[in-house]
């Protein structure tokens, strides 16, 4: 497989520029009985992570709320046992501090609005430690705060809760239980406030929704100015935006003899982002890695930049909707 490029975090840690994402859910959600359901499906991670590693991907992205830690442990554990991989060969990212109810079994997400900053510290510590136990590892490579607050919460205590959660990550970083720390879905306002409120360690990564269609300009500008790496989830629009049928992307794909997905991912990689495409198809995983074997020219990059939409999001809450 082509050599995967790394980005260097401000503390010197090397992070592979493509990861396999493990948030699996079926938006159609129908059982054979015709009963509809909305649930995360962690069982899909066994195959997906196996295929990703076989394709050459060495960065696995998970989260406490996805419930895929154990599947990742099973897949990686088998490879550690056979000697096919060592722990140092793999970059593991997880996330904790996810608000909102109804996304999974009780206890996987937090009712953040109901917690005092002290209780946040306690819960986030518990979720961090539980993540290590579920993954069966002594440390993760990167731990992120999953969201800045409960979805769409305007609660006045949110900045104090975020700081309390961040202090947990700082202390785990001090202990060496994670090699890097960062945030996810934070606006530039959340980031600036976190630093003003007394964060000792600056976040190394901000994982946000980003694609050719969806670019949070102000967040990206703040991160670039402050040496915070952008990690793009839903880099292909999560199937909800018809991005892969865009005539501009298709014409650039034809020019380079690539597919639309490769162009959409290469654009982000060339901007310096880490990308998180989710796939369980061996062919798609293989072609995703080919993004490191060609370059887009200036004209391509300009044309793609012109595709940005006011809101290219596929429907998650906006970071700006949380105080």
Catalytic positions are 66
What whole-number distance in Å separates Cα of residue 146 and Cα of residue 190? 13
Q: Tell which residue, 152, 148, 144, 149, has the closest CA to residue 127.
A: 144
Other C-beta atoms within 10 Å of 109: how many?
23
Task: Retrieve residue 77's tokens.
Answer: 């554990």
- Greatest Cα-to-Cα distance within the chain, rounded to the nearest angstrom: 56
For residue 209, give every residue at least 6 positions away whose Cβ sits within 8 Å of its Cβ, in sequence order, or none.
Answer: 185, 216, 232, 233, 234, 313, 314, 316
Q: Tell which residue, 14, 141, 144, 41, has the closest CA to residue 87.
A: 141
What whole-number distance in Å separates Cα of residue 168 and Cα of residue 54? 34
């Amino acid at each position: 497989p082509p050599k995967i490029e790394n980005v260097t975090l401000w503390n010197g840690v090397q992070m592979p520029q493509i990861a396999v994402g493990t948030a699996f859910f079926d938006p159609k959600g129908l059982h054979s009985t015709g009963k509809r359901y909305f649930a995360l499906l962690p069982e899909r991670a066994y195959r997906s992570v196996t295929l990703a590693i076989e394709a050459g991907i060495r960065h696995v992205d998970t989260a406490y709320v996805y419930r895929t830690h154990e599947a990742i442990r099973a897949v990686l554990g088998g490879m550690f046992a056979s000697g096919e991989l060592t722990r140092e060969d793999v970059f593991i990212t997880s996330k904790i501090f996810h608000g909102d109810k109804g996304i999974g079994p009780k206890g996987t997400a937090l009712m953040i609005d109901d917690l005092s900053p002290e209780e946040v510290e306690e819960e986030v510590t518990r979720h961090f430690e539980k993540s290590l136990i579920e993954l069966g590892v002594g440390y993760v490579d990167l731990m992120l705060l999953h969201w800045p607050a409960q979805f769409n919460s305007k609660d006045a205590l949110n900045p104090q809760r975020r700081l309390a959660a961040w202090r947990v990550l700082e202390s785990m970083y001090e202990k060496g239980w994670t090699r890097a720390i960062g945030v996810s879905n934070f606006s530039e306002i959340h980031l600036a406030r976190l630093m003003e409120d007394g964060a000792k360690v600056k976040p190394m990564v901000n994982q946000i929704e980003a694609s050719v269609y969806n670019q949070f300009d102000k967040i990206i500008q703040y991160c670039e100015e402050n040496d915070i790496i952008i990690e793009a989830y839903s880099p292909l629009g999560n199937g909800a935006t018809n991005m892969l049928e865009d005539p501009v992307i298709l014409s650039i794909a034809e020019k380079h003899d690539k597919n639309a997905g490769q162009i959409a991912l290469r654009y982000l990689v060339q901007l310096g982002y880490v990308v998180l495409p989710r796939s369980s198809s061996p062919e798609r995983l293989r072609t995703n890695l080919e993004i490191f074997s060609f370059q887009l020219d200036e004209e391509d990059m300009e044309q793609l930049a012109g595709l940005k939409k006011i809101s290219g999001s596929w429907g998650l809450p906006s970071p700006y909707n949380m105080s």
